[in-house]
Structure 1
Amino acid sequence: MHTASIQQNILAELDLELASTRRILERVPYDTQADWKPHPKSMTLAQLAAHVVNLLAFNTLFVQHESRDFLDPNAPKPGPRPTSLEELLARFDDYSAQLRQALHETDDEKLTHNFRLHRGEHTIVERTKGAAIRIMGLNHSIHHRGQLTVYLRLLDVPVPGLYGPSADEQGSF
């Protein structure tokens, strides 16, 4: 019996989640509702959609580096907020390709090394790279993707199914 490696498991899960995330992002009414938010404390639609996309770059950071210091002015940062849905989707495709490439270039042994997220000397979290990708990367992205589906629902935008048909694909409940 062959057991899939850590790398293979992450890549398989990533492919599934990226396809679902792209379907959600494609529905974002970016050009007409970018500044909409459901509550004063919430992110705008554009901020939330960009955050979901930018988390892919954070995942690549987990794979390729040993740490990230939020106080480091030279640390990589995402580009400016996309100005259109096309720009958002282009960034999503670019960051997805970069993450897949980084994962293909790593191996299970490297994924067991620790990644430290910190602010100066204060450690925010330290986990193996594989766990960081799953917990701080994929799970975090899935959480915000879920928020994005609520935004779409509140804006009366049909929500695509993620792990099965959505209410929009089945009719109403």
Structure 2
Amino acid sequence: MLVKLLLGEFLREAESTRKLLHSIPQNILNFKPSTTSWTTGQLAWHIAEIYNWYPYTVHGNVFNMDEYEDVERDYTDIEKIKARFEENFKKAKQSLETATDEQMSDLWKMTVGEKTVLPETPRIQVIRGFLMNHIYHHRGEMIIYLRINGCKVPGLYGPTYEDEQAMQAEAKPTE
């Protein structure tokens, strides 16, 4: 039952991620809001890449970043970023579909070489905090990038402020 609930949230939220990635225009991929920020392309790639971490988290007890199967990153092409998301989404979905409720209480940790960077934590907390909430956090950042650049922001949890203003304007009677 627990995995089924996680999968339901995962599927709903992945659709929101897809909408957000599809709203990013090619011409802002090099934009950075500050010198210490990622570019829009780097942030979009990172959001897409987190979905590739699901199999390592759901079906492994140690995620060693030294053994991570990374690919050549391309922050300059929104179509490649969206394709990377779709590829990783499929793997993430499959990993959750094959998980069991019993696995959710297993301990999990992240290492880099011999160094533990995320200590042993029940898998369910890692899936919710390290994977799901991590994606939501970066989606929020991406919304700011879009707004700064004057781009239309998709409504992820209902209409945006701009959508509501447009609906109110349409509802006003003309004189």
Q: Deviation string for 1:64-116 (max 9, x for gaps)?
A: 2111223x2x3322442254222211111111111111111111112221111
Match of 2:107 among 105, 114, 123: 114
Is the CA contact (8 Å cut-off) linking 1:115 and 1:127 kept in structure 2?
yes
SS in structure 2 of the partner of residue 117 of structure 1? strand
Structure 1 or 2: more helix by fraction: 2
Query: Paired residue for 2:54, among 51, 59, 64?
Result: 59
Q: Deviations over 1:111-134 (max 9, x none)?
A: 221111123343222212221111
**1:35·1:46 contact (CA, 8 Å) conserved in 2?**
yes
Q: Is the 8 A contact 2:74 2:80 kept in 1?
A: no
- Superposed displacement of residue 54, structure 1: 0.4
Note closer, same or farther for the CA distance 1:78–1:62 as it changes in structure 2 (3 Å cut): farther
Q: What is the CA RMSD across the aligned residues, in angstroms?
A: 1.7
Q: Distance in 2 between matches of 1:35 and 1:83?
A: 7
Q: Distance in 2 between matches of 1:77 and 1:114?
A: 24
Counterparts of 1:40 and 1:19 in 2: how far apart (Å)? Answer: 31
* Pairing 1:38–2:39 present: no
Structure 1: give runs of 5+ residues left out of the alignment: none
2:163 is matched with which residue: 146, 169, 173? Answer: 169
Identity %: 30
Change (3 A) 1:34 1:161: same
| Structure number with larger C-alpha Rg | 2
The total of aligned residue pairs comes to 166
Normalised TM-score (structure 1): 0.88
In 2, the alpha carbon distance for the partners of 1:116 and 1:38 equals 33
Query: Hey, what does 2:69 align to over in structure 1?
Result: 76
Q: Which moved more, 1:56-65 or 1:132-141?
A: 56-65
Counterpart in 1 of 2:133? 139
Q: Residues 150 and 168 (structure 1 numbering): CA distance in 2 closer, same or farther, change over 3 Å? A: same
Deviation string 1:2-52 (CA, Å, 9 cap, x unpaired) is xxx2201110110111111111110111x2121111100000000000000
Is 1:22 matched up with 2:18? yes
Find the aligned partners of 1:138 and 1:59 in 2 and give their Cα distance.
10
Runs of 4+ in 1 over 6 A off after TM superposition: none
